[in-house]
Amino acid sequence: MSSRIALTQTVQKGGCAAKVAASELRHILQNVKFPPAHPELLVDGGLFDDAAIYKVSDEIALVQTLDFFTPIVDTPMLFGEIAAANALSDVYAMGGKPKTALGILAFPLATLPADVIVDVMQGASNKIAESGANFVGGHSIDDDTLKFGLSVTGFVHPERIWSNAKAQPGDHLILTKPLGTGTLTASLKRQVSSEDDIMEALLSMAMINNAVDYLSAEHIANVHSATDITGFGFSGHSMQLANASGVTLKINAAKLPRFSTAMSFLEKGYLTKAHRTNAQYTEALVDTTSLDEMSRLLLHDPQTSGGLLLCVPAQLSADIVQALRKKFKAAEIVGEVLSRQDKAVIFAD
């Protein structure tokens, strides 16, 4: 067991809230000249999808992703579990299954004892094993602050890819995990709550998004589109999916699952910079005019290891939710897909 050190107090920002703001990231990437895509590259970063897909054969495509961040919790092993679950999620969001994982580690040797990173890596190893993948190595540097994550490779059938660009009008939208990790972990960072106080959210973040393991072959084949909800919030990731697919999402905000104390913590002002940048990122294409201020904040709340947003045929949505609830107890139908309108996402109370 590692020494008792509050990891959140060693960094300025934690988890996916530490992401570069989406608007700034888009501006940066527009100024980078990327090499021409190979014919076998089925999904790249052009539509801000969750992972890249490279076709190897008619039966196998590689799913490749990378994710790392600073501590979002105080307990090292729990941080490792959440970091791994978050990185693995990108493969699951594409309909794939993880096969190998490489660790990415920045560690302050001068200020943290080695047993901290032992626990971080053990937590990650436990989640990688749970996914059925192998922890095959990685790279480390001596740095001022702790950062950890994974580069994950998985497999998916080339005709069973859950990209963010294939939502169809008439689809129902399913969200698999509650919202609110940003505000709850902000309270932990401010030391106004303990890990025990927000354990509901911590357990959710540590839960891997292996929806494919709970769905039938028919269900898997009929997931038209998907994304996972992370640092850009429900508003940002749903907008990206709508834009990539050329559709509009109509969301019933009252149906969105949320952690039991999420709204009260938002009301107390436990916010991150990402609450503001996510609102700015989505304001032109996301209609939240029917919602109150706290509901808007929840939509912009930066999730870490959040749930999957799935677009499925309406006639199968109830069956798919029932199957998902064997593991994802909060899974809920939260809206529908419409033909493209002026806004990418419309929220109704």
- Catalytic residue ranges: 16
Task: Name 127's Cβ contacts closer than 8 Å, sequence gap at least 6.
Answer: 80, 81, 84, 85, 88, 206, 208
Beta bridge partners of 43: 53
Beta bridge partners of 186: none
CA distance 115 to 106: 14
Closest CA to 112 of 91, 149, 140: 140
CA 122 vs CA 1, 56, 115, 208, 297: distances in Å: 11, 32, 10, 16, 34
CA distance 306 to 179: 7
User: Token pair of 3, please?
Assistant: 């020494």
